[in-house]
Amino acid sequence: MIEIYSQNIEGVWFSVACAQHQIVASSFGASQQVILSNILRSTPFNVPFQVFHEPSAFAKNILASLKSIYDGKNVNASFPLALTRLPVYTQKVLKATAEIPLGYVASYGSVARAVGGGPRAVGNIMAANPFAPIVPCHRVVKSDFTLGGYGGGLKVKLELLRREKRGFSTLKEIEANGGRLQVFPVEYVLRNLV
């Protein structure tokens, strides 16, 4: 059974769906109704679920981590994501995106080059990311450093990126799911919006 927990932390709602100490889905937003809708859309339809009012110790830790990520803090944790239920290519894209470090962004095309496939396929997976903000889909932007799309709205994507600004000035290449992923300082995006 999937256990669903939600909590309002400092005016923002966070939610996590768990099963056997794995994260099935996570979400954040302005209202409990929106995040629960996101969670239910991201959970398998053929698995029973229950919404709990008080988070378990595991869920409480995840919810606190979601808030820290939302606040632009560096969270050094390995999250047990339930990826095996997803298509293999989706898993590759999500794993590569999870490697984008705080303070950096990658383009849809850069992610595609790292794992194979095309930028539009990456964009479609980002649009359906079941693990926001753990898998930082907000850090994936267009090749011209404009924002692209975002399920929570472009204003929210921009706010997240502003909180993640670290003053970096040079691009770098990282290993991501067996490929090489070029990442750029978030400042490239922020400069482009002025």
Which residues are catalytic, by number?
137
Pairing of strands 179-185, 172-176: antiparallel
Cα–Cα distance measured from residue 48 to residue 53, given in angstroms and rounded to the nearest whole number? 17
Count the Cβ atoms, other than its own, within 10 Å of residue 97.
26
Contact residues for 67 (Cβ-Cβ < 8 A; gap 6+)? 9, 10, 12, 14
Report residue 24 as tokens.
Answer: 């099935």
Q: Give the H/E segment covering residue 122.
A: helix 119-127
Report residue 18 as tokens.
Answer: 């768990």
Q: In DSSP terms, which residues pair with 111 in a beta bridge? A: none
What amino acid is encoded at 191 in this protein? R
Report residue 54 as tokens.
Answer: 């008080």
